[in-house]
């Protein structure tokens, strides 16, 4: 496997609305998506774009995630860090199933089966115990138009 681009940094927040205001008014973000619910993942999501480094292509995003529902997988994170904080990083790969087989062969624990993530392409997470403590999302790269 060859490491792909950093697609996004996941940031957990108790309030997406407050975080949007922060990224817009303090960080100067000019491209902020509409928040949307992702019930299958137990989160409400909003993407904040950073510009591409070369002036073309896709920049890296900040993925704001707010707990959605009592069983949200990030509810515990917010209870431990009530102000929110960095939650995960996400790298792109060309083929999600090849990537899963690769990490399993390396002895890194894959959390669950590939499933459709917030960008509409398959994702899985790697257990932080196998990644130097960083919760890592692996995402099949979106096709053209994303």
3-state secondary structure of 87: strand
Using the contact rule CB under 5 A, the part of the chain among 11-19, 58-66, 76-84, 104-112 near Co ion is: 58-66
**Could you tell me the CA-to-CA distances from 89 to 40, 70, 116, 118 in Å, in that order?**
20, 24, 17, 14
Write the binding mask 83 to 122 for Co ion: x where contact by CB under 5 A, - elsewhere.
-------x--------------------------------
Residues 2-21 that bind Co ion (CB under 5 A): 10
* Catalytic residue list contains 137: yes
CB 49 within 8 A of CB 61: yes
When binding is defined by CB under 5 A, the residue of 63, 66, 92, 140 that contacts Co ion is 63
3-state secondary structure of 96: helix
Tell me the residue number closest to Co ion, measured at CB: 10
Which stretches within 26-146 are classed as H helix? 75-80, 96-105
Q: How many residues bind Co ion (CB under 5 A)?
A: 4
106 vs 115 by CB, closer to Co ion: 115
CB 133 within 8 A of CB 146: no
109 vs 115 by CB, closer to Co ion: 115
When binding is defined by CB under 5 A, the residue of 48, 137, 138, 140 that contacts Co ion is 137
CB 109 within 8 A of CB 65: no
List residues binding Co ion (CB under 5 A): 10, 63, 90, 137
Catalytic residues, which ones? 137
């Amino acid at each position: 496997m060859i490491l792909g681009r950093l697609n996004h940094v996941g940031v957990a927040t108790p309030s997406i609305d407050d975080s949007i205001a922060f990224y817009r008014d303090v960080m100067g973000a000019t491209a902020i998506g509409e928040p949307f619910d992702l019930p299958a993942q137990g989160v409400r999501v909003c993407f904040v774009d950073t510009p591409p480094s070369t002036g073309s292509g896709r920049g890296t995003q900040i993925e704001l995630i707010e707990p959605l529902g009592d069983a949200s997988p990030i509810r515990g994170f917010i209870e431990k860090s009530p102000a929110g904080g960095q939650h995960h990083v996400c790298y792109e790969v060309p083929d999600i199933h090849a990537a899963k087989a690769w990490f399993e062969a390396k002895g890194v624990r894959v959390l669950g089966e590939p499933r459709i993530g917030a960008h509409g392409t398959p994702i899985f997470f790697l257990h932080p115990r196998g990644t130097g403590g960083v919760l890592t999302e692996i995402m099949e790269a979106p096709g053209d138009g994303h």
